[in-house]
Chains A and B, each alone.
Chain A
Amino acid sequence: QTVVTQEPSLTVSPGGTVILTCASSTGVVTSGYYPNWFQQKPGQAPRALIYSTTNKHSWTPARFSGSLLGGKAALTLSAVQPEDEAEYYCLLYYDGAWVFGGGTKLTVL
């Protein structure tokens, strides 16, 4: 059973920078896992932010960026805003199937 692991929680100050990571139990995450990132606020459906490691959707704020970092997929939030407080999920592709990470609860404090 493949497991995708994210930090359970992170805290960042407004205006700061934070990096969320996404690791695979199978080993190094590469672009072939097509890492995706989603934001979810309470009571809402998830919203896509990043696809295929680094690509932004037309609605994704410029302060969000995706990358590969130290064998993991990463989501960097720069100049964090209070409205970025949310749960963030990564999604990785495994030969026809997809697996979500457990999510990172980001607190802006």
Chain B
Amino acid sequence: QVQLVQSGAEVKKPGASVKVSCKASGYTFTTSYMHWVRQAPGQGLEWMGIINLSGGTTNYAQTFQGRVAMTRDTSTSTVHMELSSLKSEDTAVYYCARDTSGAIPGDHWGQGTQVTVSS
């Protein structure tokens, strides 16, 4: 069965970077896309970007342009999301979510990774 398993919680200082990983299993990795979505405490969902797992092309939300990088490692079926220049407002749960066609986002989700930014 499809599984997306994310890396563990992180605590970072303002100005630092964080890299969250999402390991996929149970399907052919390169036939899909992966979205990254975050949710700040008590807030709604925020779309961050998408990566095509076949060619590695990305599309990021304007809010995160220049500060986010999504990459994939096809040898380990793992997707990474790195967010730099962290601020306290980046404290959130970060989710990866699979998309099988580029237009059917989130049929499967990772369990979420808590990222806390605090001095």
Which residues of A pack against B, CB within 8 Å? 1, 34, 36, 38, 40, 45-48, 51-52, 57, 87, 89, 91, 93, 96-103
Contacts and interface: CB of A to CB of B under 8 A. Distances in A.
Majority SS at the chain A contact face:
strand
Interface residues of B, number: 22
Given A51-B104, A52-B104, A45 B112 contact: yes
Given A46-B95, A99-B61, A101-B44, 6 more contacts: A1-B62, A36-B106, A38-B45, A45-B109, A96-B59, A99-B47
Contacts, number: 60
Contact of A97 (B59, B106, B107, B111): B59
Contacts of A47: 109
A89 B50 contact: no
A56 to B, nearest CB: 12
A38 B104 CA distance: 12
B35 interface: yes
Interface in B52-100: 59-62, 95, 97
